[in-house]
Amino acid sequence: MITHPQAATTATPDPDEERRRVQTARLLAYRDDGPLVHALAGKLGKGLPPVPATLVALLAIVAIAAVGLLKPGPILLLPSLIMLVLVLPTAPRDHLGRFDWLTPPLLRGAEFLAMIVVALQSGAPRWLLFVLVYVVGYHTYDTVYRTRQSIWPPAWVFQAGLGWELRLLIIGAAAAFDVLTPVLAVLTAYLFVLFAVESVTSWVRLDKASAQAGADAEQDLEASPEDALEQATGEADKG
Amino acid sequence: MTRVVLLGSSPSPDTAPTGLRLAALPGNPTVAERLRSQLVSLDPQPATIASGDVAAALRAVADVAESATENLFIIPDNSVVHDELIYQITKAKRGALALIAKEPRPEAGDEVQEDIVPIDEAEPEIGMNRLEGLPVRSRAGKSRIVSVGTANHQVTRPNAVMLGPLHISLRNAPMLAETCRALADMADRFGPDDDLVQIIVFGLVRNGVSVGLRGRRDLFYRRVTTQEEVNEAGAEMAGMDEDRARLDNAVKGADGFFTTYFVSTYSRFIARWAARRGLTPNQVTLISITLGVLAAACFATGDRPWMVAGGVLIYFAFVFDCVDGQVARYARKFGVLGAWLDATFDRFKEYVVFAGLAVGWVVSGNGDDIWILALAAIGLQSIRHLLDFSFGISNRRKPPAQLPTLALDAPSDSDLRKALVRRKEERSQGVRGLLKMWSKAGKYRAVHWARKMIVFPIGERFAAIAITAALFDARITFLTLVIWGTVAAAYTLTGRLMRSLA
């Protein structure tokens, strides 16, 4: 599940601990796991280490695309299956390792690559694919920009957005059955309406004054990661 | 909001400023009246700390800190200060921030004499020099106060004074309370010339709090005790351009090369013009979006004259994109929606232009393979952004670095100094040393700007799009974006992997 940072019910938590928890929740939200991942994550035991598994998936997709294995037909389901087999089992991990921050970009990169190689092979309109990449990208940006102001998108958006795994399954299956163009059109339109309407309504409904107070309490909203580090630790690396 | 703490005059023989009037200002207010009116929007009922008994004053500060639910802003009540300076200090993100003045460096000729002993071998001393009426007993480093002494605590190579204003974020309030109580119990160890703020920072630094520092820069601050000083201060303050300082502060520092030299040189004047005409930041964002969409439409024609027009439009879309943030900071109109709109539509503008370029290429009779390049460009850029965001999280998860501490009753700071040197040596080994060397290379201007450009920041991207689209064609634009973006990704990834390892 998306662990929404709840107001602490117990005694005031250690601020460092609390910060780590909220930031990790954000990192997990960037993965954009969907209903299938959430349904299976609890049943997979320890799971796979996220960075190596996702990296292998990404390289595998690059490899099968490069050797020309992808031809119209059922084989187009393969990239999606690679992702499911290798990346889905990474969900139970806590993502606290020193390199685990690489997971969301690797995962999104692998997702985009799988989408693109499959759709290009099955002859779907390329502009439509571009729009789908933008819409999925928008959802990720939206998650980032809202959570950094401590305004969390509701958990149902991540479910209704289908997650990377169902999106890839749908695209892979549609390509395998040679019906990708209509499916891509419907999927893109559905996600566009979903993400756009949810964003707009949530901004209309939001109590902006109290949200501002929460955002002000957050540190360094605009600082680049390196600047943020410098501010947090008091270490200036300026020569 | 902020909890304001007004300090009565310091233990030194200052006189109460109640009767001192700022004749240069409208309404002829007293110094204290003016300061209170400047602070009323932060805290309508500031805590006041009586002067005189240091121990009692420190305990009173501890009481305020203990009950604080907001950040604390401590300032002597005989301060003559610009509004903007109060604003900038209280908006700081540091856990603790002090306003300081550094002792002017000796003339070049004297320096040879003066600096003959390197700092690592310098003996700690009781600072006896004075600067603006305050004893020089603090050692200011590049970004934080390294060490502070008192009349009975030696400090190595003191070079600065705490002018007075001190901002303490809420998370450091418990430490402030604890420190002030401990200091109150040893009040007899301070001299009559030790200033209350200096004593507080002395305690905080020795207890391992990282106290950041800033100078007055282009703004005014002075403590006053006599009518003569008040008159002087009033005249000097009135002679400074506070609005200009405010405007300059609205321009974000640390921008890329293109933004710094081809946008920030004049964008602030558009921002001021917009703010004075009552335009909100969100309206400016809307102008920028409109320009971006128009640019995309121009590119979508595929005709040379329109491509040039599109290049010009996308440049101005970027200018107004910088202006909206500046209007927000200058007019102090911040909003969660504004921040989101700005960021979200930055991405939209960029990607809608990609689409426009691809459409224009196809419309002018070329194949639709261009969409593959467009997909590569949008995919790469999205992933590069996500790399930034995710690495930011890994940084924010790191526990704050601990600074060495020193007992409050240690007579000199030499042990603190040694601990800092040791810490520095530990941090200069292996990967960390390599990273440190690399960041130090930033002092050379060429390296500094080359490093800024290689990461392909937003200004460079918009400039690259504008120039390549206007002069060449969509294919060249996408190739530029993909190649430069790949180099940037490889460069930043290398640095960040090393940082994760360090």
Burial of B16 (0-12, 13-18, 19+ CB in 10 A): middle
Identify the closest residue of chain A to B383 by CA–CA distance.
A105
Contact B395 A228 (CB under 8 A): yes
Predicted ipTM beyond 0.85:
yes
CB contact under 8 A, A138 and B344: yes
d(CA B426, CA B419): 11
Smallest Cβ–Cβ distance between A229 and the set B339, B343, B395 belongs to B395
Instruction: Pick the closest to residue B353 from B260, B259, B305, B288 (CA basis).
Output: B288
B396 contacts on A by Cβ (under 8 Å)? 19, 23, 219, 228, 232
Contact criterion met (CB below 8 Å) for B295 and B314: yes
- pLDDT, one tens digit per residue, over B147-201 is 999 999 999 889 999 999 999 999 899 999 999 999 999 988 898 889 999 999 9
Residues A70/A114, Cβ–Cβ less than 8 Å = no
- pLDDT given for residue A221 in this prediction: 40
Check if the beta carbon of residue A231 is closer than 8 Å to that of residue A219. yes
Q: Which residues pair with B3 in a beta bridge?
A: B72
Disruptive mutation site among A23, A129, A152 for chain B (greatest number of B CBs within 10 Å): A23
Eight-state DSSP code of residue A71: -
- Which one of A142, A212, A231 has the shortest CB-CB distance to B344? A142
The structure tokens listed for A72 are: 């119209």
* Minimum CA–CA partner of B358 in chain A: A127
The residue among A101, A139, A205, A227 with the most chain B CBs within 10 A of its CB, best to mutate, is A101
Q: Give residue-wise pLDDT tens across range B57-70.
A: 999 999 999 999 99
The region of weakest confidence among A106-110, B80-84, B180-184, B418-422 is: B418-422
Higher pLDDT, B112 or A28: A28
Residue A231 is predicted with a pLDDT of 45
| Cβ pair B124, B412 in contact under 8 A | yes
DSSP B303: -
- Compute the nearest-CA separation of B28 from chain A (Å): 36
pTM of the model: 0.87
pLDDT at B415: 87
Specify the DSSP class assigned to residue B399. P
- Work out the end-to-end distance of chain A between its first and last CA atoms, rounded to an integer number of angstroms: 44
Contact across the interface for B382 and A104, Cβ inside 8 Å: no
Report chain A residues whose CB lies below 8 A from the CB of B334. 212
Rounded-to-integer distance, Cα A109 and Cα B493, Å: 14
Cβ neighbours for B115, distance < 8 A, ≥ 6 positions apart = none
Amino acid at B40: V
Average pLDDT for B198-222: 93
Is A113's CB within 8 Å of B379's CB? yes
The reported pLDDT for the residue numbered A109 is 96
Of A100, A127, A226, the CB nearest to B371: A127
* Residues of A in Cβ contact (< 8 Å) with B385: 141, 144
Distances (CA, A) of B403 to A147, A215, B139, B143, B426: 30, 28, 15, 14, 13
d(CA A4, CA A153): 9
Q: Which of B99-108, B109-118, B459-468 shows the lowest mean pLDDT across its residues?
A: B109-118
- Which residues on chain B are in Cβ contact (under 8 Å) with A142? 344
Contact between B481 and B464 under an 8 Å Cβ cutoff? The reply is: yes
For B437, which residue in chain A has the nearest alpha carbon?
A239
- pLDDT for A1 equals 44
Q: Which residue of B has its CA nearest to A129?
A: B375
CB within 8 Å of B48: residues ≥ 6 apart: B5, B6, B8, B77
User: Helices B304-331 and B242-250, interaxial angle, to 10°?
Assistant: 120
User: Chain-wide mean pLDDT for chain B?
Assistant: 88
**pLDDT at residue number A224:** 44
Report CB contact under 8 Å: B397, A149. Answer: no
Instruction: List, as own/partner pairs, every contact residues B232-237 make where C-beta atoms lie below 8 angstroms and the sequence separation is at least 24, other chains included.
Output: B233/B22, B233/B80, B234/B22, B234/B23, B234/B24, B234/B25, B234/B80, B235/B24, B237/B24, B237/B80, B237/B82
The shortest C-alpha distance from B423 to chain A (Å) reads 12
More confident of the two residues B257 and B18: B257
- CA atoms within 13 A of residue A160's CA, in its CB half-sphere: 15
Q: With beta carbons under 8 A apart, name residues in chain B contacting A239.
A: 439-443
Q: How far does A46 lie from chain B, in Å, by closest CA? A: 22
List the beta strands (DSSP E) in A150-189: none
- Which has the closest alpha carbon to B161: B118, B110, B127? B127
| Contacting residues of B for A203, CB less than 8 Å apart | 337, 340
Burial of A17 per CB tally in 10 Å (0-12, 13-18, 19+): exposed
Across B86-101, average pLDDT: 91
What the block records as the tokens of B67 is 């009950």
Report pLDDT digits (tens) over B444-465: 888 888 888 999 999 999 999 9
User: Pick from B252, B347, B390: which is nearest to A27 by CB?
Assistant: B390
The segments of chain A whose pLDDT lies below 70 read 1-13, 213-239
Joined together, the tokens standing for residue B164 give 């007075």
Cα separation, B136 vs B28, in Å, equals 33
Closest CA of chain B from A104, distance in Å: 7
Task: Give CA–CA dist B38/B28, Å, rounded.
Answer: 15
Q: What is the mean pLDDT of residues B327-345?
A: 89
Are A215 and B355 within 8 A, CB to CB?
A: no
- B371, B386, B403 member nearest A105 (Cβ): B386
Close Cβ partners of B109 (under 8 Å, ≥ 6 residues apart): none
Q: What number of C-beta contacts closer than 8 Å exist between A and B?
A: 177
Would you state the pLDDT for residue B434? 83
The strand pairing partners of B98, in sequence order, are B166, B213
Residues of A in contact with B397 (CB under 8 A): 19-20, 23-24, 96
Residues 6+ apart with CB under 8 A from B26: none
- Phi first, then psi, for residue B332 (nearest 5°) are 55, 40
Closest-approach residue (CA) in chain A for B379: A112
CA distance A195 to chain B (A): 13
Nearest to B442 among A134, A231, A239 (CB): A239
Share of chain B above pLDDT 90, in %: 51
Q: Which of B11-15, B63-67, B471-475 has the lowest mean pLDDT?
A: B11-15
Cα-to-chain-centroid distance, residue B411: 34
Answer whether B397 sits within 8 Å of A99, measured CB to CB.
Answer: no
Contacts of A112 in chain B (CB under 8 A): 379, 382-383
- Could B371 and A126 be called an inter-chain contact, meaning their C-beta atoms sit closer than 8 Å? yes
Res. B334: pLDDT tops 50: yes
